Amino acid sequence: MLANYHTHTVRCKHAEGSEREYIEAAIAEGFKILGFSDHTPQPYPEGFVSRIRMDMSELPDYTETLVKLRDEYRNDITILIGYEVEYSRKYFEPLLVELKKYPLDYIIQGQHYVPEEPAGSYVGTKTGSEEKLKAYVDYTIEGMKTGLFTYLAHPDLINYIGPDDIYLRHMRRIVEAAVDLDIPLEINAYGFADKRWYPCDRFFRMAVEYKPKFIIGCDAHIPGLVCQPERIEGFTDFLTRNGIEYGDNVIKIRRL
Ligand SMILES: [Zn+2]
Ligand SMILES: [Zn+2]
C-alpha cells in the first residue's frame, strides 16, 4: 500500500501526535502519498462548539502547517490537504466557500450525523430503527451525488442492530450509488483496529458483489495507525474472507 488519504490532527480534539509524526510514520511504512483529512469545521450558530472537530478559526493554521510540511518533505512523500466532510443540506455549500479560501486538494465524505450536528443524531449510536437506517442511507447518497467527494469513508458507520434483510435492503443502495457515481468505498482500518462495529462483514460481503472500487483508509487518529494493513491484527483476514483485494491503494482524487 502506497497511499493513505484519511489522517487526522490534534485539532479535532480526539487525535494525538504532531503532523510531522504522522508524516514520519507514513515514510517509515513506505507510503508515497499521505493525505490529511481532518474533521472539517462547520459554520455553526454562535455559541455551539463541536467536541469532535476544529473550529472555523483554525482553518488558516491547519493549512499553513500542512503547506510548510508539504514543501519540506516534497522529496520524500506527497502530502495532500483535505478534510473529512459531513454532507449536510444546511452547511455544505457555505462551508465549501470557506474551505476554498485556503489550500485544498480534496474532501472525503464522513457521514457521522444525520441530518447535521447539533440538530441531528450520531449515526454510530446503536439503533434498531429502520427509519434511522433509511435516513442515513438517503442522506449519504444525497451527499455522494454532489460529485465532490473523492471517496466515502466508513460507509457502514451506521450502527443498525436489526435484521440482515432490512439492513442489506437499504445499505445496498449506497453500493449501487458508489458504482454509478464511481466513488470508492472505504474499508476503515481505525474501526477495525479499535474493534468497533465497522468495518463489518455483513456490509462488505454484500458490497463486493457489485464490484465497487474499494480503498483502505487508515483514519489515523494516532501516528501509529498510519501503517500497512498487515500490521493490524486480523485486518488482512477480514479483507480476504470478504473477497476484497487491495493493491497500491492509490486513487485519483477529485480536485476542488
Ligand atoms: Zn475522528
Ligand atoms: Zn476520520
Say which ligand is closest to the CA of 14. Answer: 1
Say which ligand is closest to the CA of 7. Answer: 2
Residue-wise over 193-232: b if at least 16 C-beta within 10 A, else e? beeeebbbeebbebbeeeebebbbbbbbbbbbbbbbbeeb
Q: From ligand 1's centre to the CA of 122, what distance in Å?
A: 13
Say which ligand is closest to the CA of 198. Answer: 2
Predicted confidence (pLDDT) per residue in 98-114, tens digit:
999 999 999 999 999 99
Q: Which of 24-28, 48-52, 196-200, 234-238 has the lowest mean pLDDT?
A: 48-52
Model pLDDT, residue 133: 98
Q: From ligand 2's centre to the CA of 5, what distance in Å?
A: 10
Q: From ligand 2's centre to the CA of 237, what distance in Å?
A: 22
pTM of the shown model: 0.97
Q: From ligand 1's centre to the CA of 14, what distance in Å?
A: 6
